[in-house]
Amino acid sequence: MRADHVIIGSGINGLVAASLLALKGDSVLVLERESGLGGCLRSEEATLPGFTHDVMAATFVLFMTGPAGAELGPHLARHGFDYCHAKHPTAVLRPDGSALVLTMDQAENVAAFNALAQGDGDRHALDVGGIAADAPFLFALLGGNLWSWQTAKLLFGQVRKRGLHGLAAWMGIALAPARGWLEANYESPLVQALWAPWVLHCGLTPESTYSAQMGKVIAFALEAAGAPIAKGGAAAAVHAFKALIEEKGGQLRTDADVERILVKDGRVAGVRLTGGEEIACPSVLASVAPGQLYGRLIEDAELPQDRAATRQFRHGRGDFQLHYALDRHPEWLTPGLDDVALIHLSDGIDAVSKSANEAERGMLPETPTICVGQPHRLDPSRCPEGKAILWLQIPDAPRSIKGDAASEITGRAWDEPTREAFADRLETILRRHIKDFDQIKLARRAYSPRDLESMNMNLVGGDPYGGHCGIDQFFIWRPFAHSTNGTSQVRGLMHIGASTHPGPGLGGGSGFNAAKRLGA
């Protein structure tokens, strides 16, 4: 068998690249080692029949607002892909029951923030407006090919616009941590608490370099585009991608584990599957973690610099997922949360910092930062009429357990008793905010970092972000300091996925960039 391009891995980046190359007219073959397509796009009846849960990724705002979604959206819509929205994309709920809800109307948000602390709303408008004003330059840095003439021209244009010192000052401000941004500019603890947890979804903490800029970007995106989910579940997006690729002559195979990328005379010659089958191709796009690429798939090439860098590559905190089937929609004890897409349960900056730090040190957080999704309110097809679903993501779970910050859980591995004990801790927090929670709970299903890695080997230690997202492993330094646009010393090999620029999330950015470099 022969193909123009073999894509290893069927996550969002692999599917985006395959779709664009198939639309170009190239022959593409997507190989997925698991029994189902989609990578972290996975929907299952995880709790009870009729209850469809997005087991991992759920929110499509990056795809909907990014270049991949703009180009592929009309094609995917022909194959049934659609978004479901909520007017209120996010909220924070503090332990004392106080809450702040964000709407998609900036005037409403400004008024609500100013009512809490005079000037907070005006500052919000200024921060979001700054992102909008810088959007062409900023989003090119966040999502485009950084080593390119296009980026060089953008930088030169910024020097002409701002002056060299002005651009340096802009960069310095962009590197600020979220704690500094929030504490210096917002008086209301509720406003601070609304944004502080969101940096965790970028693989950062409130103290991380450039987390302030990412917090502002998230504020801009949520207010402008909301927190959309896929109608019918994340797997519905995968079905649409599959239909599009096949419509254009491409192929997708599951249970197809690539054992080796074949290299001859310094360039890609094909791939060999674990069963021995060989597929000839001049181009391979590998949507895998660095350890998989350089530790297993490409052993036949001399790549000392890449292998040395792989040994230094660091993965971030683990992820914990908890899903509920409920007998009815939860009645929040704090009014106004019924139709919010994503609710963070957190007391604010210090609480987020504490839980993230505990997880980074290998401790089970005493009070984890919890993100609660209510997908049935956006998409009633997710469960039987009158019933409800909750999707809980805990983005600060330890990859390996050294202890428990609360000195209650004795397990030191992500086995079933430890997983369920940690789920009990989360449920105790959730129960405080929902009336008669025990009476409406029908079933729950927890996934530990180890469970997530067993479903997707690229989630090393349950890290959903493809590696630590600190500044030394991001932008032009992702995954390695010597990386250049995902290219390799092996001609015809491109590294894509969350471990490469522009990093994690459902934007499909690295797959989009790779396909464009290949002429799509």
What CATH number should be reported for the domain holding residue 272?
A: 3.50.50.60
Whether 97 maps to a domain, the answer reads no
CA 328 vs. chain centroid, Å, equals 29
- Asked if 377 and 329 touch (Cβ cutoff 8 Å), the reply is yes
pLDDT of residue 276: 96
313: CB partners within 8 A, 6+ apart: 290, 291, 467, 473, 479, 480, 499
Q: Are residues 446 and 350 in the same domain?
A: yes
Whether 248 maps to a domain, the answer reads no
Q: Are residues 497 and 432 in the same domain?
A: no
Whether 170 maps to a domain, the answer reads yes
pLDDT of residue 151: 85
Calculate ∠ Cα 349-394-132, nearest 5°.
55
- Asked if 62 and 507 touch (Cβ cutoff 8 Å), the reply is yes
Q: Domain tally for the chain?
A: 3
DSSP E strands in 239-353: the ranges are 251-253, 258-264, 267-273, 278-280, 284-287, 318-326, 340-345
Count the neighbouring beta carbons within 10 Å of the beta carbon of residue 490.
19
Q: Are residues 395 and 473 in the same domain?
A: no
Parallel, antiparallel or unpaired: strands 318-326 and 441-447: antiparallel
pLDDT of residue 199: 98
pLDDT of residue 302: 87
One-letter amino acid for residue 429 of the chain: I
Q: Are residues 131 and 218 in the same domain?
A: yes
Q: Are residues 357 and 441 in the same domain?
A: yes
CA 377 vs. chain centroid, Å, equals 22
Run means of pLDDT, 10 residues per run, the chain, 520 residues: 96 98 98 97 97 96 94 97 96 98 97 98 97 88 85 87 90 95 98 98 97 96 96 97 98 97 95 97 98 92 92 97 98 97 98 98 98 97 98 97 98 98 98 98 98 97 96 95 92 97 95 96
Q: Are residues 357 and 433 in the same domain?
A: yes
Q: State the Cα–Cα distance between residues 14 and 29, nearest whole angstrom.
A: 10
Q: Are residues 496 and 419 in the same domain?
A: no
pLDDT of residue 142: 85
Whether 361 maps to a domain, the answer reads yes
Reported as type and span, the H/E element at residue 474 is none
Whether 82 maps to a domain, the answer reads no
Domain that holds residue 405: 317-455
Q: Are residues 433 and 475 in the same domain?
A: no
Q: Are residues 375 and 295 in the same domain?
A: no
Q: State the Cα–Cα distance between residues 166 and 161, nearest whole angstrom.
A: 9
Q: Are residues 340 and 436 in the same domain?
A: yes
Q: State the Cα–Cα distance between residues 33 and 380, nearest whole angstrom.
A: 32
Gap between the terminal Cα atoms of the chain = 23
Q: Are residues 308 and 361 in the same domain?
A: no
- Asked if 203 and 465 touch (Cβ cutoff 8 Å), the reply is yes
The last residue of a domain, from among 175, 204, 225:
225
Whether 238 maps to a domain, the answer reads no
Q: State the Cα–Cα distance between residues 472 and 479, nearest whole angstrom.
A: 9
